Amino acid sequence: MSTSSWTLLSRLAVSSALVSLGHGIAIPRSVLQARQISDPSELLEAYDYVIVGGGTAGLTVADRLTEDNKTTVLVLESGSFANPADVLPVTGGGTFRQPRMQLTSTPQANLNGKTFPVILGHMVGGSSGVNAMMTARGSAEDYDRWGQLFGEEDNQGWNWDGLLPYFKKAMTINPPPADLTKRFNITYDVSYWGTESPVHATFPSFQYPGLDPLVSAFYELPGVESTQDSGSGGAGVYWFPTFMDPVNFERSYALNAHYENLGRPNYHILADAPGRRVLLEDGTATGVEFEKDSEIFQVSASKEVLLAAGAVHTPKLLQVSGIGPRKVLESAGIETIVDLPGVGQNFQDHSSVGAAIELPGLRDIHPNANDLSADPEFRQWAEELWAANRTGPYSIAFGNVAAWLPLTAITPDNFESLADELENQDHASYLADDADPTVAKGYVAQMLGLAKAMRSKDTVFSRYYVNATTGATRPILNQPFSRGSVNIDPADPFGNPPIVDYRALSNPVERQVMVELIKWYRRYNFETSLKSLGPIEVAPGTNIENDEDLAIWVSEGMNPSDYHPAGTAAMMPLELGGVVDQTLSVYNTKNLRVVDASIMPVLPGANTCQPTYAVAEKASIQIR
Ligand SMILES: *[C@@H]1O[C@H](CO)[C@@H](O)[C@H](O)[C@H]1NC(C)=O
Ligand SMILES: *[C@@H]1O[C@H](CO)[C@@H](O)[C@H](O)[C@H]1NC(C)=O
Ligand SMILES: *[C@@H]1O[C@H](CO)[C@@H](O)[C@H](O)[C@H]1NC(C)=O
Ligand SMILES: *[C@@H]1O[C@H](CO)[C@@H](O)[C@H](O)[C@H]1NC(C)=O
């Protein structure tokens, strides 16, 4: 690497160190913790609130409720307190040593019968401690579609305008260093962010020069626009910060933001203690049964039980407690207390399709200044910066820029006909045969909303993330059309993990949209200035050319999970198959709410961490 490019890169890094360290925000590493319970004998007899699940949502709600020192909260978490050294480093998007739980999906009929790993964060801090630290928020229209399911009169602020204050409350922004902003044309608008939250969103102090051609090529294709700030609710190309603190440049997540340092004797966590079921008396939640070291215990909740076990385990907890579709409960020998057909249905995840096009020419841009792994000299320089000031390439997690495209840009020629097709199809015929009529009605309402979104230039349908070394990575489908289920296993409803069925591609429009995502990915690499970087298509391969063949290949190349499970305790009217109302209370029960991503009726076009924080912040206000 030439001396001049070294100078440029290190100058950027040094100036940012001054900016970031100049905030004077201290994040002390020694922690005066709230009470960590190690044995059930140390528990209070009753807590005001018992929260099942100490993840992104659970710890946020616990923090907010215990701000009142007279309110006692117990969080039961099935995972452990993880080793901080496995969780905090940001480089590359996490160490992949964070504790996860891996289930296996049912064989996917439309994906050549393959099963897929269902990967879940499994630690105190939940998936906020496991994810790639991307802070996307999604489209304003995504949240407006939540509210529309209740109607304008009745949505109680479950729309973009109503949620924006909670997004702001949930996250503190730390803008990018000025030099970097100028050099890489980074735009941002702090008015969409907050300043008070212990959860930090921070831009790294370095970006790779290989981003230049990748980002400018986005704009060479029709309909691609830029969006000023990732938090503004728009679609297009935008920069987004990392869940990272601005002092130590480490992961900022639910545990270090919403538990450590609080020193609140009224906030208890019991780890390695999976919730077993909700205790109900005449439909009123009175406590929780949980497991610890293979023994079973019960703890009382004098005010409410709050479920925050995530979209895979929250429906299991409801179903084993007797709240769910009667047919599912009966088949598992569980007595039905509340027949609630929606529990565990409406399951959604983002998905990806494993197309791969490499750009060998990227390595010639600023020779070796693109690739930490390939050049020992560059790596040594990076290590020195990191060791001295926590600046440089090691402050990058998973990258900070992507195209978040509306369907109008992905397929300017076909979006209209695809929207027509979605609008006019027999929606219910694409659900499971035994789908409850209310669940089917909810699906119709969702698909009609999605058809409108397909014609909007403001709803994100796909994400194309760029890696400065390798180019744009596989397309992500950010608006699923198919609905799966998460149900208890009749063979052993308590002991076995729930049965996870994505029902990928069960709505045929999903396959067609996947084809359009691949075609756009090809145009981006082969029909823009990126052509000069010598694109090589690794998958699906140039022999798979026309739409019909691509459609067949989608079954081979699709992964039905992009790690964003949601929707299994949906906030919708009861007559649309909803599980919780606008206050997140479970229908036909008392003192029982769901406060996690299960309540999202439809996924937003974004990584789910930030939306989950916002849901939890709003829930905390509703509960108090
Ligand atoms: C609780 O907070 C109130 C108001 O800030 C304070 O006066 C009181 O001493 C606190 N009680 C405890 C037990 O910390
Ligand atoms: C920033 O803008 C300059 C000048 O228009 C352009 O050459 C460069 O490619 C852009 N870089 C990025 C990352 O947008
Ligand atoms: C670390 O920051 C200090 C103060 O800004 C600066 O003088 C020094 O050169 C930096 N060290 C490295 C290796 O960048
Ligand atoms: C880009 O991809 C390379 C090769 O897979 C990987 O080593 C590197 O960490 C990635 N860079 C970023 C910023 O994610």
**How confident is the model at residue 363, as a pLDDT?**
85
**How confident is the model at residue 93, as a pLDDT?**
81
Ligand that lies nearest to the alpha carbon of residue 69, given by its number in the listed order: 1
**How confident is the model at residue 376, as a pLDDT?**
86
**Atom of ligand 4 minimally distant from the CA of 396:** 13
* Lowest model confidence (mean pLDDT) among 28-32, 519-523, 526-530, 573-577: 28-32
User: Is the predicted pLDDT of residue 369 greater than 70, yes or no?
Assistant: no
DSSP state of 601: S
Taking CA atoms, 509 is separated from 57, 263, 514, 556, 561, in Å, by: 32, 51, 9, 17, 18
CA–centroid distance, residue 69 to ligand 1 (Å):
6
**How confident is the model at residue 368, as a pLDDT?**
59
With a Cβ cut-off of 6 Å, ligand 2 is lined by: 184-185, 211-212, 215-216
177: region left, alpha or beta (phi > 0 left; psi from -120 to 50 alpha): beta
User: Is the predicted pLDDT of residue 35 greater than 80, yes or no?
Assistant: no
pLDDT digits (tens, 9 = 90+) for 412-464: 999 999 999 999 999 999 999 999 999 999 999 999 999 999 999 999 999 99
**Atom of ligand 4 minimally distant from the CA of 93:** 14
The residue whose CB lies within 8 Å of the most ligand 4 atoms, and thus the one to mutate among 469, 473, 474, is: 469
Average pLDDT, the chain: 93
Distance between CA atoms of residues 243 and 227, nearest Å: 20
With a Cβ cut-off of 6 Å, ligand 4 is lined by: 92, 373, 396, 398-399, 467, 469-470
Helices (H) and strands (E) in the chain, counts: 17, 26
CA–centroid distance, residue 611 to ligand 4 (Å):
26
Angle at 451 between CA 446 and CA 457, to 5 degrees: 120
The type of residue at 592 is L
Ligand that lies nearest to the alpha carbon of residue 390, given by its number in the listed order: 3
3-class secondary-structure state, position 392: coil
Angle between helical axes of 140-148 and 437-454 (0-180°, round to 10) = 150
User: Is the predicted pLDDT of residue 601 greater than 90, yes or no?
Assistant: yes
Per-residue pLDDT, averaged over 316-328, amounts to: 98
Protein residue with its CA nearest to atom 14 in ligand 3: 385
3-class secondary-structure state, position 24: coil
**How confident is the model at residue 113, as a pLDDT?**
98
pLDDT digits (tens, 9 = 90+) for 528-582: 999 999 999 999 999 999 999 999 999 999 999 999 999 999 999 999 999 999 9
Side by side, the strands of the sheet bearing 200-202 are: 172-174, 200-202, 242-243
CA–centroid distance, residue 191 to ligand 2 (Å):
24
Listed in sequence order, the residues at least 6 apart from 199 whose beta carbon sits closer than 8 Å to its beta carbon are: 170, 171, 172, 243, 252, 253, 254, 257, 258, 613
Distance from chain centroid for Cα 100? 15
Percent of the chain with pLDDT over 70: 94
Distance between CA atoms of residues 624 and 455, nearest Å: 40
pLDDT digits (tens, 9 = 90+) for 88-111: 999 988 778 899 999 999 999 999
Distance between CA atoms of residues 171 and 173, nearest Å: 6
- Decide whether any atom of ligand 3 lies within 6 Å of the 389 Cβ: yes
The predicted model scores a pTM of 0.94
Strands 172-174 and 117-121, sheet pairing: unpaired
540 preceded by a cis bond (ω within 30 of 0): yes
Q: Tally Cβ neighbours within 10 Å of residue 520.
A: 23
